[in-house]
């Protein structure tokens, strides 16, 4: 993968932060900067407007369920999970859209182009006009639940397997994607 993904950016950014320490015994890799007082939390870069500088603010989420792209990330990751979505879908497209756009949570828009989003990430495939593919709901559900079923080396986090999103949230996202004309 040639392009720099959000997660590599995060990893690189954290590695140059003043809090970079070697993570003795901690679960996330040593080349990610962690606050020693809270080893599963990292810092996030904040742009200081018109200064050319970044400031580092504690990122208050537990990142231990997120795989990183760090070469030093030797954590065991949960095994790839194949799931069968029970029909009917019962998803709420509006709620799914809200989730997909949550940049602060590291959800879909940080990697995928989505309608009416000006600054999406580009590591993932373009999801605008998604409906045209006519993928079965269950296949889209599986992709979000654990994309490693199709590509063991994917950069996309296994949202279901790692309990980042629950069953209903994944259904809402499927409903949203399937509604994108
Ligand atoms: C860290 C980047 C990243 C994030 C975040 C991410 N994805 Fe992906 N996604 C990818 C990549 C890369 C692919 C390409 C396929 C692969 O690598 O397996 C992909 C593929 C997909 C596909 C298959 C599209 C197709 O036409 O084949 C769907 C659907 C999808 N992602 C949905 C989502 C949703 C919904 C979210 C948010 C819950 C999300 N992705 C978050 C990186 C990401």
Neighbours of 99 (CB within 10 A): 19
Question: 96 C-alpha to center of ligand 1: Å?
Answer: 14
Neighbours of 91 (CB within 10 A): 23
Q: Which residue has the tokens 């639940």?
A: 145
Question: 36 C-alpha to center of ligand 1: Å?
Answer: 32
Is the shortest distance between the CB of 10 and ligand 1 below 6 Å? no
What are the residue boundaries of the structural domains of the chain, listed by start? 3-58, 93-179
User: Ligand 1: which atom is nearest the Cα of residue 7?
Assistant: 1
Give the whole-angstrom CA distance, residue 132 versus residue 56: 41
Question: 133 C-alpha to center of ligand 1: Å?
Answer: 14
CATH T-level topology, domain 93-179: Cytochrome Bc1 Complex; Chain D, domain 2 (1.10.760)
Per-residue pLDDT of the chain (181 residues; tens, 9 = 90+): 334 444 444 444 444 333 333 333 346 666 665 555 665 666 677 889 999 888 877 777 676 666 666 777 777 778 999 999 999 999 999 999 999 999 888 899 989 999 988 888 888 999 999 999 999 999 999 999 999 999 998 989 999 998 999 999 999 999 999 999 9
């Amino acid at each position: 993968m040639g392009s720099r993904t959000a997660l590599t950016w995060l990893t690189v950014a954290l590695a140059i932060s003043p809090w970079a320490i070697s993570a003795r015994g901690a679960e996330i890799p040593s080349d990610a900067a962690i606050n020693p007082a809270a080893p599963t939390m990292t810092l996030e870069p904040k742009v200081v407007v018109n200064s050319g500088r970044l400031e580092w603010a504690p990122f208050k989420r537990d990142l231990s369920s997120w795989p990183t792209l760090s070469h030093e990330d030797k954590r065991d990751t949960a095994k790839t999970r194949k799931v069968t979505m029970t029909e009917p879908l019962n998803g709420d497209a509006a709620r799914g859209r809200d989730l997909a756009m949550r940049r602060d949570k590291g959800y879909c828009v940080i990697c995928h182009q989505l309608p009416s989003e000006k600054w999406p990430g580009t590591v993932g495939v373009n999801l605008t006009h998604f409906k045209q593919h006519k993928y079965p709901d269950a296949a889209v559900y599986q992709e979000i639940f654990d994309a490693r079923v199709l590509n063991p080396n994917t950069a996309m986090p296994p949202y279901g397997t790692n309990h980042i999103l629950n069953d209903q949230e994944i259904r809402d996202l499927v409903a949203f994607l399937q509604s994108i004309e």
